[in-house]
Amino acid sequence: MNLIIFSEKDVIANTASTVRIQLGGRQLDHLLSVHKAEPNSILRVGQLNGKLGQGRVVSINEQAAMLDVTLHQAPPTPLPLTLVLALPRPKMMRRIINSISMLGVKDLYLIHSYRVDKSYWSTPFLQPEALHEQLLLGLEQSIDTQLPNIHLRKRFKPFVEDELPLLCSNKRAMVAHPYNAQPCPPSSLEESILAIGPEGGFIPYEIDKLQEAGMQTIEIGQRILRVETAVTALLSRLFPVI
Amino acid sequence: MNLIIFSEKDVIANTASTVRIQLGGRQLDHLLSVHKAEPNSILRVGQLNGKLGQGRVVSINEQAAMLDVTLHQAPPTPLPLTLVLALPRPKMMRRIINSISMLGVKDLYLIHSYRVDKSYWSTPFLQPEALHEQLLLGLEQSIDTQLPNIHLRKRFKPFVEDELPLLCSNKRAMVAHPYNAQPCPPSSLEESILAIGPEGGFIPYEIDKLQEAGMQTIEIGQRILRVETAVTALLSRLFPVI
Q: What is the pLDDT along chain A (242 residues), one digit of tens a residue?
A: 899 999 999 999 998 889 999 999 999 999 999 999 999 999 999 999 999 999 999 999 999 999 999 999 999 999 999 999 999 999 999 999 999 999 999 999 999 999 999 999 999 999 999 999 999 999 999 999 999 999 999 999 999 999 999 999 999 999 999 888 999 999 999 999 999 999 989 999 999 999 999 999 999 988 999 999 999 999 999 999 88
pLDDT of amino acid A15? 87
Cβ–Cβ contact A30 with B under 8 A: no
Residues A116 and A205 in one domain: yes
Mark whether B107 and B142 lie in a shared domain: yes
Give how far B145 is from chain A: nearest CA, Å: 12
Q: What is the CATH number of the domain that holds B229?
A: 3.40.1280.10
pLDDT at A241: 83
Looking at the structure, do residues B109 and B45 belong to the same domain, yes or no?
Answer: no
Q: Which residues pair with B11 in a beta bridge?
A: B21
Q: Are residues A88 and A69 in the same domain?
A: no
Question: At residue A234, what are phi and psi to the nearest 5 degrees?
Answer: -70, -45
Nearest CA to CA, how far is B225 from chain A (Å)?
A: 6
Q: What are phi and psi of B73, to 5 degrees?
A: -125, 140
Interchain proximity B229–A99, CB inside 8 Å:
yes
Could you please report the per-residue DSSP string of chain A?
--SEEE-GGGEEEE-SS-EEEEE-HHHHHHHHHTS---TT-EEEEEETTS-EEEEEEEEE-SS-EEEEEEEEEPPPPPPSEEEEEEPPPHHHHHHHHHHHHHTT--EEEEE--TTS-GGGGG-GGGSHHHHHHHHHHHHHHHT---PPEEEEE--HHHIIIIIHHHHHTTSEEEEE-SSS-EEPPPP--S-EEEEE--TT---HHHHHHHHHTT-EEEE--S----HHHHHHHHHHHHSS--
CB-based contact A236 B234, cutoff 8 Å:
yes
Residues A182 and A100 in one domain: yes
Nearest to B156 by CA among B105, B194, B208: B208
Size of interface A-B (CB pairs under 8 A): 84
HSE-up (13 A, CA, CB side) for residue B187: 20
* Interval A78-113: pLDDT, tens: 999 999 999 999 999 999 999 999 999 999 999 999
Q: Does A99 touch chain B (CB under 8 A)?
A: yes
A232 touches chain B (CB under 8 A): yes
Q: Which of the listed residues B52, B73, B94 is the one where a domain comes to its end?
A: B73
Computed on alpha carbons and rounded to an integer, the radius of gyration of chain A in Å comes to: 20
- For B80-92, what is each residue's pLDDT tens digit? 999 999 999 999 9
Say yes or no: B12 contacts chain A, CB-CB below 8 A: no
Whether residue A221 lies within 8 A of chain B, CB to CB, comes out as yes
Are both A217 and A149 inside the same structural domain? yes
Beta-carbon separation of A233 and B234 below 8 A: no
Q: What is the pLDDT of residues B179-226, one digit of tens each?
A: 889 999 999 999 999 999 999 899 999 999 999 999 999 999 889 999
* Same domain? A135 vs A206: yes
Least CA distance to B96: which residue of chain A? A229
Instruction: Count how many domains chain B has.
Output: 2
Closest-CA residue of chain A to B237: A237
Q: Which of A57, A73, A89 is the last residue of a domain?
A: A73
Range of the domain at A139: 81-238
**Contact flag A242-B233 (C-beta cutoff 8 Å):** yes
Distances (CA, A) of A88 to A122, A226, B132: 12, 10, 27
Assess whether A109 and A28 both reside in one domain: no
Q: At what angle do helices B227-238 and A227-238 cross, to 10 degrees?
A: 50
A98 and A67 within one domain: no
Report the pLDDT averaged over residues B160-176. Answer: 98
Rg of chain B (C-alpha set): 20
Question: What pLDDT does residue B242 have?
Answer: 81
A122: left (phi over 0), alpha (psi -120 to 50) or beta: alpha
Output the domain CATH number for residue B57: 2.40.240.20
Q: Do B233 and A234 touch (CB under 8 A)?
A: no
B186 Rama class: left (phi>0) / alpha (psi -120 to 50) / beta: beta
| 8 A C-beta contact, residue A109 and residue A83 | yes
Nearest CB to A242 within list B143, B144, B223: B223
Q: Which residues of B touch A235 (CB under 8 A)?
A: 233
Q: Say whether both B100 and B189 belong to one domain.
A: yes
Contact B226 A102 (CB under 8 A): yes
> Are B186 and B231 part of one and the same domain?
yes
Which residue from B102, B222, B229 is facing A226, i.e. has the nearest CB? B102
Please tell me the predicted confidence (pLDDT) of residue B16.
Answer: 83
Q: How many CA atoms lie within 13 A of B26 on its CB side?
A: 9
Contact B236/A232, CB-based, under 8 Å? Answer: yes
A111 in the same domain as A207: yes
Domain boundary pick from B56, B73, B90: B73
Q: Which residues of A touch B224 (CB under 8 A)?
A: 2, 141-143
Instruction: Please provide residue A227's backbone torsions phi and psi, each rounded to the nearest 5 degrees.
Output: -55, -45
